[in-house]
Amino acid sequence: MRQMRKLAVTLAVVASVASLGVSGQASAHGNDGGAIVGALIGGAVLGAVVGSAVNAQPVVAYQAPVYQQPVYAAPVYASPPPGYCYDGYRQAYVPCGPAPQVQYGYPQPGY
């Protein structure tokens, strides 16, 4: 980008110096009218060349996007570890197993 800008400035300076050099001094008596017209036309041509060089951009072609239908999957939930059941009272997974044997009353002496 910096080189393009430098080139454009250089070409603009060269074009302006060339157009001034070609035009020469204007005559007050009207004898050099053709030189002035030629200088104006030459300046216009050089300006067009410089302008097209500065504004030239490469043509970029992109491939059109293709729509693809998203793939939806059913949610996967983690299963409880083996040997665990869900306890609604605690709202957590607890170890499953037979209910503990609760003995009511007093323990009997072993005779």
Tokens 């300076």 sit at which residue?
13
What's the token pair of residue 107? 């323990």
Segments making up each domain of the chain, as ranges = 1-79
Please write the tens of the pLDDT for every residue from 9-56. 676 666 666 666 555 565 556 566 677 777 788 888 888 777 776 676
Instruction: Indicate the helix (H) or strand (E) that contains 39.
Output: helix 33-55
What pLDDT is stored for residue 101 in this prediction?
Answer: 74
Mean pLDDT of the chain: 74
Rounded Cα gap, residues 96 and 87, in angstroms: 10
Torsion of CA 12, 16, 17, 21, to 10 degrees: 150
Asked if residues 15 and 47 have their Cβ atoms less than 8 Å apart, the reply is yes
pTM of the model: 0.27
